[in-house]
Each structure stands twice: as C-alpha cells, then as structure tokens.
Amino acid sequence: MAEVTMAQALNEALRFSLSDDDRVLILGEDVGKLGGVFRITDKLQAEFGEQRVFDTPLAESAIAGVSLGLTQAGWRPVAEMQFEAFSYPALDQVISHIAKYRFRSAGTTEVPMVIRIPCGGGIGAAEHHSESPETYYAHTSGLKVVIPSTALDAFNLLVRAIRDPDPIIFFEPKSRYWSKESGDLVPDGLPIGAARVAREGQHCTLVAWGAMVARCLEVATAAAEDGVELEVLDLRSLVPLDLDALAASVQKTGRAVVVHEAPLTVGFGAEVVARIVEDSFDYLEAPVLRVTGYDMPYPPAKVEEHYLPSVDRIFHAVDRVLSH
Amino acid sequence: MAEVTMAQALNEALRFSLSDDDRVLILGEDVGKLGGVFRITDKLQAEFGEQRVFDTPLAESAIAGVSLGLTQAGWRPVAEMQFEAFSYPALDQVISHIAKYRFRSAGTTEVPMVIRIPCGGGIGAAEHHSESPETYYAHTSGLKVVIPSTALDAFNLLVRAIRDPDPIIFFEPKSRYWSKESGDLVPDGLPIGAARVAREGQHCTLVAWGAMVARCLEVATAAAEDGVELEVLDLRSLVPLDLDALAASVQKTGRAVVVHEAPLTVGFGAEVVARIVEDSFDYLEAPVLRVTGYDMPYPPAKVEEHYLPSVDRIFHAVDRVLSH
Amino acid sequence: MPSKRDDTFRILAPDGTVDEKAKEGLDLKEEDLRQMFRFMVLARKVDLECTALQRQGELAVYPPLIGQEAAQIGSAYALGDEDFIFPSYREMGAAIVRGVDLVDYMHFHRGTWHGGVRDPVGARFAMISVPVGSQMLHAVGWAMGTKFDGKEACAITYFGDGATSQGDFHEACNFAGVFKAPVVFFCQNNHWAISVPIEKQTAAPIWKKAEAYGFPGVRVDGNDVLAVYKVTREATERARAEGIPTLIEAVTYRLGPHSTADDATRYRTKEEVDRWHELDPLERYRQFLEAEGVADQSFVLEVEAEAEDVAATVRAGIQGAPPPPVEDLFKWVYSDVPPHLARQRDEALGLLEEGEDG
Amino acid sequence: MPSKRDDTFRILAPDGTVDEKAKEGLDLKEEDLRQMFRFMVLARKVDLECTALQRQGELAVYPPLIGQEAAQIGSAYALGDEDFIFPSYREMGAAIVRGVDLVDYMHFHRGTWHGGVRDPVGARFAMISVPVGSQMLHAVGWAMGTKFDGKEACAITYFGDGATSQGDFHEACNFAGVFKAPVVFFCQNNHWAISVPIEKQTAAPIWKKAEAYGFPGVRVDGNDVLAVYKVTREATERARAEGIPTLIEAVTYRLGPHSTADDATRYRTKEEVDRWHELDPLERYRQFLEAEGVADQSFVLEVEAEAEDVAATVRAGIQGAPPPPVEDLFKWVYSDVPPHLARQRDEALGLLEEGEDG
Ligand SMILES: Cc1ncc(C[n+]2csc(CCOP(=O)(O)OP(=O)(O)O)c2C)c(N)n1
Ligand SMILES: Cc1ncc(C[n+]2csc(CCOP(=O)(O)OP(=O)(O)O)c2C)c(N)n1
Ligand SMILES: [Mg+2]
Ligand SMILES: [Mg+2]
C-alpha cells in the first residue's frame, strides 16, 4: 500500500494504458522529453518510444483534429492540453467534429480519444492557468466529461476513460496534483457515470467535483464538531451525470449546496440545481444554493483566495440552507 | 406605421448606426456585395462604402481578433458570424481576449464591439446551421449576451448594443427573421438587461428568449381558451439577466417552465431554474421544469420538429407544473 | 481564365492541343481514359439532377460542383484503393469515383442524415464536412496513423480557395510537414468563396503557400483532367514512398451558384461565367478522346445514357426518403444510451405515440 | 548558432567585424548607438533582477529574456512614437524602450494584476498576451483601423518560433496581406518553444512563410542589434508608406529557462547553451561601440550603474506590492456593475469585513 500523489497516479494510469493496449498514443505540447509541465507524462517517451509518446507543434486545434484523424486509423490518442485556457483554440474541432462524429455517422464509426485538461485554480498560477471551463464541454452533447478528486480515483478514471469508445474530456484538478493517497493502483473503482458519496451525512448534501470535494470535506469535518452531519457527493462524471445518486442523497437530506470554482452564471452548478428541482422538489426543505467563482475573468493569483469558494463561504451557504 | 420583418429591422438598425456614428464598421464573410446570406447587411456597402462595410477572408478567429484590434484604434466594429456553428473558431479570441480585455486593463481600455450571430433552428437548414450556443457565451464573464424576439425589439436592441461600451454577443433567431411587426423603428425600447413581459398571466410563468418566445405565446393563447393564464417572460438579455423581473413574475404565479432550443444539460434554462430557486423558493408551488432540445447534436432538418420544444411538449410541462 | 503563366501545369490546352512533353509518363490505359470520362459525365448528370431535386423540394439545399468535374475525377482517379479521401461538401464527383453510395450521400443534402457516408473507414471516404477547413486536420491525423502502422497508403483532402484562409489549413499543413505525413492537400481554386473572390481571400498564389511548410506546391489547370490526374498521381507516390506532402492548387471555376440557396448574380458578371463555360472540362476532354480515337460518338451517347440511369436511380432512391426513426438519434450520440439521455428518449417516444394515437 | 546562410542579414559579426555594405544607410547617430546599449544593459539587469525576485517569492513566475536583448531593443528602437507594440509575455525589453512603467508591468508576473500596462492605447504598448499567437490579430486590426484614419503609423507584434504554428499566426498574416495593413510581424526565433526545438515546430524556415501571404520575409541575426534595427526600420517604413507588411525572423536564443518554473536541463545540453553564451548580444555590441570609439569603459560602467538603480527601483516598487482591492475587480468586468455582479460583490465584501472583524 504505497502512497501516491494524483500526479503520480495519472502518470501510472498512462503507463498502464500504454502497455495494456499498443494502440494507445500520447501527444501534446512538451509531453515528450520534458514529461509535461506537470510531469504527468514523465519518462513515458523514454519507455515507450517517440512514436507512442510525441511532442506536437504548438497548435491545439491541430492536436484535437489530428487526434480525431488518428482514431480513424485505429489509434486511441490521449491528447494533453497544457492548461485549460489553451484548450479554447481546439473548441471548434471538439464541438463541430469530435463530439458529433459518431452521431453523424449513424453510429458506424467511433472516436475513442481522451483529451486531458489540467484545470482549476488555487496554485498561484499566471493568468489563463487557473480556469474551470467544464461548462463549455458539459454542454457539448457527444462528449463525456469526467474529473477525479483523489489520486486513486484519478488512476481508475483515466484508465477507464482511455478504454472508453467515446470521446472523453478528462479534467485534472491542478491543486490536487500533489495530494497524496495510499492504496493500490488498480482500475477497479467505480465506472464512468457513477458518483461517489465521499462522506455520509443526513442534514445537508454538498455536491462537488474535482478540487472542491476536498474543500467540502473540510467543511463537513468542521461542521461535524457542531453536530451537523454534511453529506459530500463527489460527482466524478459531469456527463453522464449520476441522477440517481444525486436524487438519493438530496431526498435523504432534504437540503443541498453545490460548490464549484467556475463562474456562477451557467456554471455546472446550475445544472445540478435544476436536476435536483426536477427530481426531488417535494423533498426540498430549503432552496438549493450555489457557492462558486464570481462572474468575472479568473482574477490575479494574489486575490484568488477571495474568488474561490472558501470554507467560510460554503459554511455561510450551509447555514442559510439549514436555518431556512 | 410600416410593417417590417426582423431581417429588415436589423438591416435598418445597422444603417441607423452607420450614419449615427462614423466610427461604426461592419465586417464579416459576404457582408458586402452579397449583403450577407440573410441579407441583414443588404445595400449597406453601396451606401457607406467599402471601408465602412467590408468582406473579410474566411477566418472567424481573425474576424474576432481583428475586431478587437479595431476597437483599440477607436472603431466600433460590428462583426458578423455567418452562422452560429461558425463562431466556434473564434471562441478562443472571444473567451481569452475580447471578454477579458477591459478587466485585464483595470478598466483603462474598452472593447466596444458587437458580434452578430444568427442562431437557432426550425428553418430546415443544413448541418451546423441550426444550433443555439448561448451557453458558451453566457458563461463567459465580460460578455453581454442579448437576443431579440421581435422585429421592433431587434432594431432597438441592436442599436443599443452598438452604442454599448462593452463587447456584446448579439444573437439573431433565424426562424424569426421573416416574422413581421408593425411599428416605428426608433431606438427607444427597453435597455439591455431588462426583460419584457410578453404576455401577462397568473397561473404559471413561461420563461423564454429568441424564437421560443413566439412558441410560448402560442401556448399561452391556446391555454387561455381553457382558462389557464400563462405569463410569458421574454428575457431579451441573458447577461445581464433581469433577476427582478424573473422573481416578480414567478413570485406572482408560483410556477415556471423554461423553454429553449439548446440542449438540456447546462443550457441557459438551468441558470434560470437556479436563479428562481435562489430568489423565489418559498413562492414555488411546483418544480420549475425545462423544455429544451435534447442532449444530442442538432439533428437533421427533417427531424428537427421532434427535437425543438413543440407546443405539445410545452403544454405537457405546464400540465405537470399546474397539476403538481 | 486559368493563369497562362508557365507555373500552371497543363497537358490538354483549351484549344485541344496536347503538350506531349507534359504528357510523358502518363500511365493511363485507353480503358482508364474512357473510365474517367464516364465518371465526369456521371458527376455532371447527377449534379444537375440534384439541383433539380432541390428545386422540387426533394433536397433541402445542394452545392453544385458543375465545372469542377475534371479537378475531382482526375484527382480521385489517381488514388489507390487504400487511400483515404477527406472531402468538404462539394466533392460528389470524388465520391462517385470512390463508389460511395450516392443515395446515402444525398441524405445529407436532403436533410435526413448528417453523415452522408456509411462506415467511412470502410468506404475510405470521410463524412461530408461543412466547417470550412476543418477536415484537413483529420486527413493529416489519419495519414500519420497509417504511417505509424507502416502501411503504404496516403490521405487526400479536398478544400476550396476560401478554406486556405482558415487557421486549420495552416495547422494541418504544418503538422504534415513536421511529421512527414503521407497526405495530399487538394485545393480546388474555383475563384469564389460564396461572394468573395480569390483576390480578396489572399494576397499570394495558393500553390506557393506550400513554401511555408517545407513541401512542394503545384498549380495545375483544374479543367484539364489529364494534368490533374498526373500531378495528383505523382503527389500520392511522393506521399506514400517518402512521406512528402504536396499542396495542389487546381485552378477551376464554380459554374453554378455557391449553393441552390445562393444568388450569384449579386456578385459576379454573366460575362465571367460565360468565359468559363467555354473552358468546360467535359467538352475539352471529349474532344481529346475523339481526336485520339479513344472514344467515339456512340461511346459518348452510351455513357450519357448510363449516367441518365444512375441519376434516375439516385432520384428514385432519395425521393420521399424518410428521416431516421427518432429513437435511432438517441442511439448515435454515445456507444451506450446514458440515463439522462434515456429519459429524454422516453419522453420523445412517448410524445410520438400520443401523436399517433391522437 | 545563427544560420551562416547568406539569407541571414547581419552587420556585426560575432567576431566583431563589420559588414560595411550591410551597414550602408544605417541612420543612427552616436547618441542613438549609446542609447540602444543603455537599453540593452537595462533589460539585462532588470531581467536578472526579476529572476531573483521570483526566487525570493516576490514574483509568481517570470519568463527571462536574457539573450534576446538585441532582438527586442533593436526592433523597438526602430519604431516611431505613434507606432503600437503588441507583445507576447517575454518582451520586457521592448517595454523598456517604450517607457512602460516597469512596476506596473511586473504586477503581471507577481500575480497581482493581469494587464501589466495602464492605458495601453496611450502607452502604445498592448497588455501582456499569454495565449500564444493570439496578439498578432490585434496588431493587424489596430493597423487596419489606423490606416482607415489615414494616420502614418504602424503596428509591430512580437511572438516566438512556436507561435508560428498557431492558426492565428496564419490568419493574421493573411489578413495583413489582403488589407495591406501597416504591420510588422517580429518573430524571435529563440530555437525553443519550452522543450520543443524549432526543427520539431516546422519544416520550413520561418522567414519564408511570408511567401504564403504575398509580402516580404527577412531573416536577421537576432543577436546583432544594428542589423535588427535596420531591417525593422525598413519594415516600418514599407508598412507606413505602402501598407506592405513584413515578417522578420530574428534568429536568437533563449539563454535562460522558458520561465522560472522550467527545468531546461531536461531537454537541452549545456554545450548548446554555452555556444550561445559566446554569442552574447551585449558583449558583441559593447566591443563594437568601444572599437568605434562611441563608448568607453567609463560609459559602460556608468550605464551599468544606472541600470542597477532602475533595477533597484523596480524591486522596491514591486516588493510586497498588494493586489487590487477585491471591490475593484467587480468594477473592471463591465463599464457598469450589473445587478447579478453587484450581488456577488456585496457577498464578497461582506465576507471580507467579517474576516476583519472576526
Ligand atoms: C468555418 C466556416 N465558416 C463559414 C462557413 C460558411 N461557408 C460555407 S462555404 C463558404 C465558402 C467556402 O469557399 P471555398 O473554401 O472557396 O469553397 P467552395 O465553396 O468555393 O467550394 C462559407 C463562407 C462555413 N461553412 N464554415
Ligand atoms: C495557445 C497556447 N498554448 C500553449 C501555451 C503554453 N505555452 C506558453 S509559452 C509556450 C511556448 C512558446 O514558445 P515560443 O512561441 O517559441 O515563444 P518563447 O516562449 O520561446 O518566447 C507554450 C507552449 C500558451 N501559452 N498558449
Ligand atoms: Mg471557392
Ligand atoms: Mg521560442
């Protein structure tokens, strides 16, 4: 039972997949010798050669479009976008082709590819290096959108994503890259599409994904001291969304707060609220609230603590919900 | 009191703006001699010359990025994206620069530009010509996102958008281009950010924008025959969103259904539901439901009638809400 | 008119004269020469049929290829069976050479189905691609992957003069140059991007843009099917054998409107169109075949009759063709139908039933 | 080493010899020659200071320009007061020439402010742009708009070798060619895009890419400040007078890591870096100035002392500099604060107060 960071777990998941299936390829900017700016592809080129793991020119639209082409030649590309904000030049290829390709072909061809995107803030990074663009992808039908919150789950989810026959946007919460967890790296965790109850509780449900799961667990631990039992639901997969798990938890607690880093307006939290209202309205004892980033561009690193959902802000929302 | 179509009203709004302010420019693909594929810029190049109204090479990222550059030289560009799906190559410039430019400069520079985007389905068009991408833009802080539902309001909103100091995404619901309205074309309507009660009613609120407003009015007229009075709220502006108007209507009716063409998951309807829950939870007598396009790529034209919210589907939702 | 500058490769001049030196090494048997003509006539006939079908409301919209037959047939005929075509939306001629089911294909333009090609990988013909310039990257990716497997096949991607302005064109060419991808970039410069003339699209000759990527660029008379065949053949050989991409600029002309929804009189003169009608690629090639004694009147008539039959079959197949059952749409989004989508499917099907009942 | 091919323009050879023919028409007075040296030393000193500030935690991350002083100073010094600079993130040297407030500028790298430039239009220096290749389009748009006004000014945009792979680079150059925009595309080919060497970035020489857009391309020794000045000067004149854009490839080298967060030893050899240290642009220029009698030891010492002072001022100004008040962030999003944002502002400020109280 070794201790691994999420970064190591992701690196192992790629290593595992490269040896497990010789059709798997890794491409992106600086993924070769450098091993990626976060070292997620560390040593993989040395181990698997320059054809299985290769650097590309600096062009994200090409990285996405070429990956689609590779799938049509029978490969399973795992493309890395260096940072979330640099995935935007690829949005046209993702929205107009990758997400639609299977549909357009009446199911006669598949696009088994993964686009890895480090996301989120909280690491004091430069501009364009701390955003949370999950809404753009989750709203794009035809994509599956997953995001792990722990090291072991990162391993499991990435291995499953690479095996999946559909195009997957795989978000990696940067601020958790160095978070440790001990356990064995074996792809036997929950399947894509299943949420995980990270902590049980009966008074209120905190819904989160990625880095905000840990933040919610902090809140839950603190709340427990006041005898308030918060349930923390880690969505793991935004698309498909685990509607049953969401309904089950909220129907048990009757209250919910959604937490995410992305701006409020049409953040994925809005979808969570709408689903809760549709499926569990009669169980609700209070409005479902959202604690999110503000509706502004991601601010300079030195003020991000005031932008990201803090333990305080989450507490405030929980208080309002409980005292409703 | 002449009768005008929305297409004519938009053409007049551009004409008005070009003569009202000699810093206004119009650029895009085929906006010159051809007058645009929908003729929204018809005759403008002949009237104002090839420097005020000009065709560009076929490159949307450039159309957006060059427009930003033009604002820094003191111009007020009005760029046309030929169809909504062809605005995606410009998303990187829109998200990473246009939306953030003022913020990044600490408010020391402005980006007074408008990007016109024909949107929506229902016109039997080819693939990539019927989508509703408002979520991508509404989630991008720094942009204002407006969409008219009638000819006169289209004139007023476009004139105001062109005068606005901030970057504006101006959606034009294609299926309403040929809808007629009589009245005078004068920019004296509601400001950007104000919603409009398109029809009063006390039993349930239908929230919509663009082409779906007319669809909801159809439903309301039919419902009235059964003595059910539906209020129809035309949002007009998704960002900024008129929270007061939304709360006022729902707190009066106690019930709401949101209708849009875009796919369900993280469609703007989710934001509307979340806002209603946050502001008017205690007034709600039933869950707020959404009637939207399905979570799939926009389907072939010959099946779009089964994809777009139909009078039937909206009725179903209203029934569920009223009988709750 | 196609540039008369000697940087334009041509075998068959408009006036029918043959440049024997240019023709050297042309590896076409008489049967091939006839077959290419057959394909050109077929493309012309089916194209006209489709314009008619659109007028009758059988197709939603259709982008005619009339005038570009030599460019499409000559290039597609030069391909090997394993080579993969990545087209835009105007390559029905190339689809014919590839043996793509034309009724399937027309479903795209009818508005009953988005792809237009069943099992694209098997067909070696990618689905119709409307976002201008976007398909070139797929061709490069496929070509890279095919080379990784050590297979001797190349990709060819079709696009227009306007598409060269897109960032994706640049990124695709740059990747191809860096990875030595076996791909042929085939640009049909038909002088117009809807209403925008080539002079307003770019300030440099298209074929010269290859300089920016370290591989050869060639300009060819796109209305000379023999010349197009030859330069494409050579490009495919360079691609497969040495991993050298080629940018081919086939200078041709869009004799019809951009699409059946377009009114070209708004932006170009009748004189210009007439000049190009005189350069009709079919006519030029027919005269050559008859002059060379490879074909005679009766052959031409026979070919036209065959084409009529095929056009009639396409018409019969697409007329009144229904869209897919709504249920299928839900099956095509993902390899499985996830719960949220299953719910939506059930709602949709429920409504359909009611519709039938009531 | 900078390519020795004669397609590389150079005045001052690494060994100090001067190419008099190339030097012809160089319009620099002695004071200019000294001023450029002053700027180069200043850029070097402030750059080293910033790397130190980052190590001490005063800056979040910093991208050193060491080695690229001649390319940045020589080009920026060639500009007129009305010309507008559209930089990437590594152009602190150009910012110095432009007189941009360096403390403002360093707020970007400290993580206290995103723009780095107050009133960019007034400063004639656009905000720092991190998305690679994206700023070139802004330069072209500004240049087009300036030409529309009949003003005699041009834009210059800085970018790296890696940026030439981006679609935006292509679209910007193509627009510039079509609209005859007065713009200079200044590429600092420093041989690396983080860990990706130029050979893996593109298969053609960068300066040749201009061929694709119908305007001139020039390769210059980017470590020869005189040559850089001259080609840029000529490019700006062509741009303003005739609306002819130019693509300049300044061959130089990134002596430091990509940024203070980068470990360059993972992908390049010490030998390579050492070779380029021998080609240090400051050293080469200093020797020239002394040989020509334009500067002497004491001048050099004086200049270095000045630079130390400026560096110290920058340090003093940025050390411990606070981020903007949270309230301001809400004011910067739109020209007004819309209701939904006002709510969020009030929540944020409320929490801050509590924070202070409790
Ligand atoms: C990205 C994108 N922008 C705009 C359009 C709308 N559009 C369709 S075809 C076309 C012109 C294409 O011209 P060209 O590349 O020369 O091809 P041609 O139609 O002449 O064959 C345009 C602007 C599109 N389909 N995709
Ligand atoms: C669109 C985009 N993709 C990726 C990145 C991450 N990134 C920052 S700098 C850089 C390398 C740029 O190389 P080059 O253009 O040569 O400029 P240099 O850093 O050498 O000055 C990369 C990949 C980015 N900033 N923007
Ligand atoms: Mg064309
Ligand atoms: Mg570089």
Across the range D110-139, mean pLDDT stands at: 97
The number of CA neighbours under 13 Å toward the Cβ of B42 is 11
pLDDT, tens only, D68-110:
999 999 999 999 999 999 999 999 999 999 999 999 999 999 9
b/e string for A60-88 if b means 16 or more Cβ within 10 A? bbbbbbbbbbbbbbebbbbbbbbbbbbbb
CB-based contact C340 B296, cutoff 8 Å: no
Pairs across A and C, CB distance < 8 A: 146
> At residue D202, what is the residue type?
T
From A88, A265, A281, residue closest to B92, measured CB to CB: A88
| H or E element that contains C246 | strand C246-251
Name the percent of chain D lying above pLDDT 90: 96
pLDDT, tens only, B166-215:
999 999 999 999 999 999 998 888 999 999 999 999 999 999 999 999 99
pLDDT at C357: 64
E-state strands within chain B: 3-5, 24-28, 53-55, 76-80, 114-119, 144-146, 168-173, 180-182, 196-199, 204-208, 230-234, 237-239, 256-263, 289-293
Ligand 2 close to Cβ of residue A86 (< 6 A)? yes
pLDDT, tens only, B203-255:
999 999 999 999 999 999 999 999 999 999 999 999 999 999 999 999 999 99
CB-based contact C175 A241, cutoff 8 Å: no
pLDDT at B187: 85
Going by pLDDT thresholds of 50, 70 and 90, the confidence category of residue D3 is: very low
CB-based contact B105 D127, cutoff 8 Å: yes
Q: Which atom of ligand 1 is nearest to the CA of C132?
A: 26
Going by pLDDT thresholds of 50, 70 and 90, the confidence category of residue A1 is: low
Q: How far apart are CA B236 and CA B234, in angstroms?
A: 6
pLDDT at D357: 64
Give yes or no for a contact between C185 and C176, defined as CB atoms under 8 angstroms apart. yes
Whether residue B7 has pLDDT greater than 90? yes
**CB contacts, 8 Å: B109 with chain D:** 119-121
Peptide bond into B240 cis (omega under 30): yes
**CB contacts, 8 Å: A57 with chain D:** 162, 165, 196, 200-202
Distance of CA B317 to the CA centre of its chain: 23
**Please, what is the average pLDDT of chain B?**
97
From A37, A126, A303, residue closest to D329, measured CB to CB: A303
DSSP3 helix / strand / coil % (chain C, rounded to 5): 55, 10, 35
Give the chain D residue whose CA is nearest to the CA of B67: D141
Give the chain C residue whose CA is nearest to the CA of B307: C348
Going by pLDDT thresholds of 50, 70 and 90, the confidence category of residue C241 is: very high
Whether residue D4 has pLDDT greater than 60? no
Structure tokens, D346: 């009030």
Structure tokens, C76: 């597609």
Ligand 2 close to Cβ of residue D315 (< 6 A)? no
Give yes or no for a contact between A131 and A121, defined as CB atoms under 8 angstroms apart. yes
**CB contacts, 8 Å: B61 with chain D:** 137, 167-168, 171
Distance D132 CA to ligand 2 centre (A): 5
pLDDT, tens only, C119-142:
999 999 999 999 999 999 999 999
Q: Which atom of ligand 2 is nearest to the CA of D259?
A: 19
Going by pLDDT thresholds of 50, 70 and 90, the confidence category of residue C353 is: confident
Q: Which of B98, B129, B139, B321 to substitute to test the interface with A, most A CBs within 10 Å?
A: B139
Across the range A196-207, mean pLDDT stands at: 98
Across the range B34-44, mean pLDDT stands at: 98
CB-based contact A266 B269, cutoff 8 Å: no
Q: Is B260 helix (H, G, I), strand (E, B) or coil?
A: strand
- Nearest chain A Cα distance for residue B37, angstroms: 21
Q: Is A155 helix (H, G, I), strand (E, B) or coil?
A: helix
Which chains have at least 3 CB atom pairs separated by less than 8 Å from chain A?
B, C, D
Give the closest residue (by CA) to ligand 2 atom 6: A82
Whether the full predicted model's pTM is greater than 0.95, yes or no, is: yes
Ligand 2 close to Cβ of residue A82 (< 6 A)? yes
Give yes or no for a contact between A205 and A257, defined as CB atoms under 8 angstroms apart. yes
CB-based contact A57 D200, cutoff 8 Å: yes
**CB contacts, 8 Å: A142 with chain C:** 333-334
CB-based contact B294 C109, cutoff 8 Å: no
**Please, what is the average pLDDT of chain D?**
96
> At residue B32, what is the residue type?
G
Q: Which residues pair with A239 in a beta bridge?
A: A145
| DSSP track, A87-136 | GGGGHHHIIIIITTHHHHTTTSS----EEEEEE---S-PPTTSS---HHH
Whether residue D5 has pLDDT greater than 70? no
Going by pLDDT thresholds of 50, 70 and 90, the confidence category of residue D53 is: very high
Give yes or no for a contact between D10 and D220, defined as CB atoms under 8 angstroms apart. yes
Give the chain B residue whose CA is nearest to the CA of C328: B299
Give B253: exposed, middle or buried? Use CB within 10 Å, 0-12, 13-18, 19+: buried
Ligand 2 close to Cβ of residue D160 (< 6 A)? yes
Nearest ligand (C-alpha, residue C262):
1
Going by pLDDT thresholds of 50, 70 and 90, the confidence category of residue D318 is: very high
Q: Which atom of ligand 2 is nearest to the CA of A128?
A: 25
Give the chain B residue whose CA is nearest to the CA of A89: B92
C-alpha dihedral over A99, C91, C183, D193, to 10 degrees? Answer: -50
Give yes or no for a contact between C60 and C38, defined as CB atoms under 8 angstroms apart. no
CB-based contact B91 A92, cutoff 8 Å: yes
Whether residue D1 has pLDDT greater than 50? no
Q: How far apart are CA A285 and CA A280, in angstroms?
A: 10
Name the percent of chain A lying above pLDDT 90: 98
Q: How far apart are CA D333 and CA D347, in angstroms?
A: 17
Whether residue D354 has pLDDT greater than 90? no
> At residue B283, what is the residue type?
Y
- Nearest chain B Cα distance for residue D234, angstroms: 23
pLDDT at C2: 39
Going by pLDDT thresholds of 50, 70 and 90, the confidence category of residue C70 is: very high
Q: Which atom of ligand 1 is nearest to the CA of C130?
A: 25
Q: How far apart are CA D166 and CA C202, in angstroms?
A: 18
Give yes or no for a contact between B104 and D114, defined as CB atoms under 8 angstroms apart. yes
D166 close to C (CB below 8 A)? yes
pLDDT at B266: 98
CB-based contact D142 B73, cutoff 8 Å: yes
C207 close to D (CB below 8 A)? no
- Nearest chain B Cα distance for residue A138, angstroms: 7
From B58, B297, B300, residue closest to C163, measured CB to CB: B58
- Nearest chain A Cα distance for residue C118, angstroms: 6
Give the closest residue (by CA) to ligand 2 atom 17: D160
> Which of C66, C108, C132 for mutating ligand 1's site (highest number of atoms within 8 Å of CB)?
C132
Distance of CA B108 to the CA centre of its chain: 29
Residues 6+ apart with CB under 8 A from D122: none
CB-based contact C166 D167, cutoff 8 Å: yes
Ligand 2 close to Cβ of residue D68 (< 6 A)? no
Label each residue of C183-228 as H, E or C.
EEEEEEECCEECCEEHHHHCCCCHHHHHHHHCCCEEEEECCCHHHH
From D175, D333, D338, residue closest to B57, measured CB to CB: D175
Ligand 2 close to Cβ of residue D198 (< 6 A)? no
pLDDT, tens only, D195-241:
999 999 999 999 999 999 999 999 999 999 999 999 999 999 999 99
D171 close to C (CB below 8 A)? yes
Q: Which atom of ligand 2 is nearest to the CA of B92?
A: 1
Going by pLDDT thresholds of 50, 70 and 90, the confidence category of residue C6 is: low
CB-based contact A97 C114, cutoff 8 Å: no
Going by pLDDT thresholds of 50, 70 and 90, the confidence category of residue C3 is: very low
Which chains have at least 3 CB atom pairs separated by less than 8 Å from chain D?
A, B, C
Ligand 2 close to Cβ of residue D147 (< 6 A)? no
Residue whose C-alpha is closest to residue C232's, from C292, C155, C323, C320: C155
β-pair type (B237-239, B144-146): antiparallel
**Please, what is the average pLDDT of chain C?**
96
b/e string for D115-131 if b means 16 or more Cβ within 10 A? bbbbebbebbbbbbbbb
**CB contacts, 8 Å: D169 with chain C:** 170
Q: Residues near ligand 1 with C-beta < 6 Å?
A: B 29, 58, 60, 82, 86, 89; C 90, 130-132, 159-163, 190, 192-194, 254, 258
What ipTM does the predicted assembly reach? 0.98
From A73, A239, A241, residue closest to C145, measured CB to CB: A73
User: Considering just the CA atoms, what is the radius of gyration of chain A in Å?
Assistant: 19
Distance B58 CA to ligand 1 centre (A): 7
Residues of A that are catalytic: 129
